Chains A and B, each alone.
Chain A
Amino acid sequence: DTAVSQTPKYLVTQMGNDKSIKCEQNLGHDTMYWYKQDSKKFLKIMFSYNNKELIINETVPNRFSPKSPDKAHLNLHINSLELGDSAVYFCASKPNLGADSPLHFGNGTRLTVT
């Protein structure tokens, strides 16, 4: 059973389109994240949710809107896609917010904007 699963794995779309990425974790964790990994391989945090509440919103364009319908799911909707949005997006979870416990990652969604 996959602990953190993301769909789709690949997403190719044109500039200006709107797209969504879905994430689900079956670990019973309270805290979920969206990360962006750019071409230089740096992982940058975008959003963090704890029990469906937005905790961290880094300096991400407001074209990106996360939604957490329940604590096991964290989706990412992107409006008006731009070339610079091309990257790999990772969902991750951990047991709770206030802990140094490790992150569990999904296998990423490679977004290519043409």
Chain B
Amino acid sequence: GQQVMQIPQYQHVQEGEDFTTYCNSSTTLSNIQWYKQRPGGHPVFLIQLVKSGEVKKQKRLTFQFGEAKKNSSLHITATQTTDVGTYFCAWGGSYIPTFGRGTSLIVHP
């Protein structure tokens, strides 16, 4: 079956440092979505990537979809304390989104 790994599981950074989380699949993905869950909150949709090699930006967040559509990354430039939370990738988005384990970002002021 399809195997998608999300790494790292946790990441501690000092405020102002960059952060990246990765999702790697053993098979080609039709699309990939990213969600953010704040502590005590619920997942909130950030973006969907569909095209091979696609890159999208939202302010300090950069999302990439690999050329082979087997991996994706979320990069945050100059983290702020408001970035704290767990970031999930999700695949199979046109049908039933399946979520990765998430990467918990802890930002130290």
**Do A and B assemble together?**
no
Residues of chain A whose beta carbon lies under 8 Å from any beta carbon of chain B? none
